[in-house]
Amino acid sequence: MSKLQEIRADYDKQTITVYQAYGKNIALPAIQHNRFQSPFSFKRMTWIKPSYLWLMGRSNWGTKSNQDYILAIKIKRDCWEKALGLGILTHPDKLIYQSGLMWQRAFDAATVHIQWDPERSIRGAKLEMRSIQVGISRHLIEEYNEDWIVEISDYTPLTKKINRLRKLGKHAEAKRLLPKERVYVVNVGLQKRIGVR
């Protein structure tokens, strides 16, 4: 039986793939150089998501303004787990924090924010299970860019192909093209810290 909140991702022994959506002024240099370049902002939090369909819901399949390029970013698994270990939830979950004050102090000092949002179906419906998104603060963004990233791939053509099939009602065919995400298991300590359940 699936948990309500669990990490599902496309990963291998060394890397995990996360997704971001940008306009071409940020996306094209990132694809070319395998790193983010200006005008990407190193002064604000950037959110990475291992759920492809969640990002499709957010970007409306890459059709929203400045979200028309879908990037698949492979990062090192040890860096991903470092981020989770630094993470503080964006709300005072009573199962994790003893008080709202304790959460607020931890949140204010956090370099990584963690949020659980409803997963999406290929048809766009919100599902009961939730997917994780991880906010990397300005204190860690340069490290994320220089040390964590292994490869940046352009998933825009794939996204357009899947979306065309969806619009034609060929959902089974579209599903076969989705990234192969499966449960990403973390240790019990991390599960408790970030709210896997």
Residues 140-171: pLDDT tens digits? 999 999 999 999 999 999 999 999 999 999 99
- For the chain, give the percent of residues with pLDDT over 70: 99
Cross-strand pairs, 42 = none
| 143 alpha carbon, distance to own chain's centre | 17
- Amino acid identity, residue 20? Q
Band of residue 16 on the pLDDT scale cut at 50, 70, 90: very high
> In this predicted model, what pLDDT tens digit does every residue of 35-91 receive, in sequence order?
999 999 999 999 999 999 999 999 999 999 999 999 999 999 999 999 999 999 999
Band of residue 2 on the pLDDT scale cut at 50, 70, 90: low
Assess contact for 11 and 188: CB atoms under 8 A.
Answer: no
Positive or negative, the CA dihedral 109, 20, 24, 123 is: negative
Determine the pLDDT at residue 3. 81
Mean pLDDT of the chain: 97
Q: Per-residue pLDDT averaged across 182-187, rounded? A: 97
- Tokens 């040890």, located at residue: 78
pLDDT at 1 exceeding the cut of 90: no
Reduced to 3 states, what is the DSSP secondary structure of residue 85? helix
Band of residue 196 on the pLDDT scale cut at 50, 70, 90: very high
115 CB contacts (<8 Å, ≥6 apart)? 89, 90, 91, 132, 133, 135
- Tokens 């053509």, located at residue: 157
Burial class (CB in 10 A: 0-12, 13-18, 19+), 189: exposed
Distance CA(25)–CA(27), nearest Å, equals 6
